[in-house]
A and B are shown apart, each in its own frame.
Chain A
Amino acid sequence: MMRNDFMAVTKRAAAALAGTLAILMFAIPSHAASCAGRPQQITFANWAAAETATSKEVTASIAAFEQANPCIHVKMIAIPFADMVSQLTVMTIGNNTPDVMELSSGMPQALAAQGALADLRGYADKALISDIQPSMLQDGEAGGKLVALPLSLTPHGFWYNKGLMTKAGLNPAHPPRTIAALTHDIQVVKAKEPKVFPFAMMTSKGAYTVVVMWPWLQAFCKRPPMADGHLGWTQPCTEQAFAWFQTLAKKHEMPVGNNMKDNRQLFATDQIVFTLDGPYLRGIVSSINPRYAANAAFAAEFGATTVPVGPNGVSHTAIDIHQIAMSAKAADPKAAWTFLRFMVSSPADMRDFIIPEGGLPPLTSLQQRFSADLAQPYQQAWVKEIIPEAVPIPYNPTWYRASNDMVNALQRVVNGSNVKTTLAALEAALKRIYPHFRS
């Protein structure tokens, strides 16, 4: 090889190397480029990433976080909602609890009993705490500790189909506000529109069935079952509630055995008139039935308000919200808390994740800040009426174990079993799990 040839090859090789380096520098994520050291990795277990409807949103939110915090890298662990408790329990036993976790429906209490969760009072400042509705905070308490903060406010409200109400001769401007009025309207709908289900409630297998049933138990009972160390399944108000469920099932006024997905499908296709569900039902309805994609079309057909008042005399809904918690053994608690705080209080997270997924911001100040994005009539119902009336379900560490028996009892009753004996059997079964609870 001539010297000139050698120089030419060397120059080309140097140019190629420089080009490759330049490409690599642009290709490497920005946090790596701008973070002095190696980025600290934290793990975030959530179901949002496991669901196609929300995975894009949560990914966008995390990208925004990593951009704002270049020295922290978030590794997502996607777990389906139904498997969250079992997976997290197994991870906790294996001493491998994720640094940050999305939780809901009694999961904080189950995991806190295993010592898996950090007390967030040691991290959260007063300004943040005072910006959260006290009952929402209460839902994240376990054993005197604050183990979870609200991430997205999604309690169930009372949805109604205005078009079907009108067809049945009911006035959609006046949805039923009491159990008596609801029962009357259900009968009217059944008589006039026999092909639709006037009412729907989840009665399939799974712990979530109990969550869905709970607002109705609250409507019937001043002190719902399991509250204040009482089992309370054989008290007259619980029996009344179950007798009401049984009558609705017996008269085919509600579908039996449906899960939430089945009921949402029916609601979106104008086959259910009244049901309880979260504010995210709006997005689900339009994804099933594009006819209701536009806000105006949706508002014309569907409305939402508070749970009808029962013998209890007060309208309550059960707090069924998405929460976020931190591992008691997080490798870098500071980084984990920085991320958790971002998810709860950052406008970017509200914009990219919480509001698009159909929830409401957990902080009162953020609800005001995003008022323009929460201006739809159903959203206003949640902000002004439903969220203020939400009260926690009396979760405890063995709630998931007990919920199996509760669902069995509900399924027996809607399939025609005697209410009194079924509830007595439930009470006896739960006494084995909660020997210290009073009847």
Chain B
Amino acid sequence: MARRDRGFALATILPALLVLAAIYVYPLLRTIGYSFTDYDLINRTNHFVGFANYVSLFSDPTFYTALINTLALGIAPMLGAFLLGFTEALVLNEITAGSGILRGLVLLPWVVPQVVIAFLFQFMYNPTVGVFNVILKDLGIIRTFQPWLAHPATAPAAVVLAYVWNETPFFMLMLLAGLQSIPNEIIEAAVVDGAGWWQRLWFVTLPQLRRIIAITTILTVIWNFNNFTIIWPMTEGGPANWTLTFSVWVYRQAFQDFNLGYAATIGVLWLGLLLVVTGFYLRAIGGRDEAP
């Protein structure tokens, strides 16, 4: 490219770069800067404290609780939603009559706003009038109504179920598109070679979908890591921090405790975790398809 052309190109993208810098780079740098301060709106302090927040964070038991919960609530719903979504995609791929209506119905949970999903599930889990309790008691599985969101043993699973319900249609949609893009010739060749349904699924379908599976699962994990709208209305990170994730913890520290320095430190470490996962994602979308 000629020098003049390069100058022109730079001039045309400069406004966009400046906007991006203002929106992304400045807040990021500011957050990293705050993580080295004791910025606290209640105690009215804002001094440089070096790595004190990081040292304090690594000695804070809540950090490890939040880390484990963030990983668990990032990965477990993805696994559940993937299995259900893949099953739905396989079924819908075989159905021809009424498939349009069925696909529309199956997609519904994906279009419901997450905060609505949170309140719906919270109501369904209600310990006095919730439909979960009514059904389980009628079936004889429980003797008394249970506080699903208030018990450490059940609250994380109850939250995971809400995530799964929301995310399953995404997997269904993407994997169904993937299934329909597999050339018929490959399937037919496998049939001719005497491959059964399971063998076709394992040796033909799954390898063909490998890249889609990698992208969708990693994307879902990233979304789950950042999820706030489901978990906050449902549990606020409780009971006793059993569903506390980094997103909830940062919110609490920043907007309830106004401990901005510490909140920024959590945010920076959380960003590091997300960057690792994003690295996997970039590798997945940048990878080359293997020849069938």
Contact = CB atoms under 8 A, between A and B. Distances in A.
Contact of A205 (B127, B128, B144, B239): B239
Contact of A408 (B41, B126, B147, B238): B238
Contacts of B41: 89, 93, 114
B156 interface: no
Given A252-B144, A265-B128, A257 B256 contact: no
Contacts of A412: 152, 239-240
Contacts of A397: 42-43
Q: Closest 7 CB pairs between A and B?
A: A257-B150, A257-B147, A205-B238, A411-B240, A205-B236, A411-B239, A401-B257
Interface of A: 85-86, 89-90, 93, 110, 113-114, 203-206, 252, 255-258, 262, 265-266, 271, 397-398, 400-401, 404, 407-409, 411-412, 415, 417, 425
Given A89-B41, A113-B42, A400-B256, A415 B152 contact: yes
Given A86-B256, A265-B128, A415-B240, 15 more contacts: A89-B41, A110-B42, A204-B238, A205-B237, A205-B238, A205-B239, A206-B236, A258-B147, A258-B150, A262-B128, A398-B43, A401-B42, A408-B238, A409-B240, A415-B152
Contacts of B217: none
A401 B258 CA distance: 9
Nearest to A417: B240
A408 B127 CA distance: 19
Contacts of A89: 41-42, 258
A113 B147 CA distance: 38
A415 B128 contact: no
Given A86-B256, A204-B238, A400-B256, A255 B42 contact: no
B255 A86 contact: yes
Interface in B199-255: 235-241, 252, 255
Contacts of B238: 204-205, 407-408, 411
Interface in B55-73: 61
11 contacts: A85-B256, A110-B42, A114-B44, A255-B128, A256-B147, A257-B147, A265-B128, A408-B238, A411-B240, A412-B152, A425-B61
A397 B43 CA distance: 8
Nearest to A207: B256
Contacts of B126: 262
Contacts of B149: 257
Contact of B147 (A255, A404, A409): A255
B151 interface: yes
A407 B44 CA distance: 25
A297 to B, nearest CB: 23
Of residues B61, B129, B147, B151, which shows the largest number of chain A Cβ atoms within 10 Å of its Cβ? B147
Contacts of A206: 236
Contacts, number: 81
Contact of B151 (A85, A256, A409): A256
B53 interface: no
Interface in B139-181: 144, 147, 149-152
Interface of B: 41-44, 61, 126-129, 144, 147, 149-152, 235-241, 252, 255-259
A271 B162 CA distance: 29
Nearest to B241: A408
Contact of B240 (A113, A401, A408): A408
Contacts of B151: 256-257, 415
Contacts of A113: 42-44
A257 B239 contact: yes
A2 B177 CA distance: 79
A349 B242 CA distance: 45
Contacts of B258: 86, 89
B63 to A, nearest CB: 13
A258 B239 CA distance: 11
Contacts of B256: 85-86, 400-401, 404
A412 B153 CA distance: 11
Contacts of B259: 401
A425 B149 CA distance: 23
Nearest to B253: A401
A398 B257 CA distance: 8
Contact of A114 (B42, B129, B237): B42
Of residues B129, B144, B150, B255, which shows the largest number of chain A Cβ atoms within 10 Å of its Cβ? B150
B243 to A, nearest CB: 10
A255 B130 CA distance: 14
A398 B42 CA distance: 7
Contacts of B237: 205
Contacts of B255: 86, 90
A262 B147 CA distance: 11
Given A257-B127, A415-B240, A203 B150 contact: yes
Nearest to A398: B42
Nearest to B149: A257
A205 B252 contact: no
A204 B150 contact: yes
Contacts of B127: 255, 257-258, 262
A82 to B, nearest CB: 10
A415 B235 CA distance: 15
A408 to B, nearest CB: 5
A425 B43 CA distance: 24
A128 B133 CA distance: 53
Contacts of A203: 150
B252 A404 contact: yes
A163 to B, nearest CB: 19
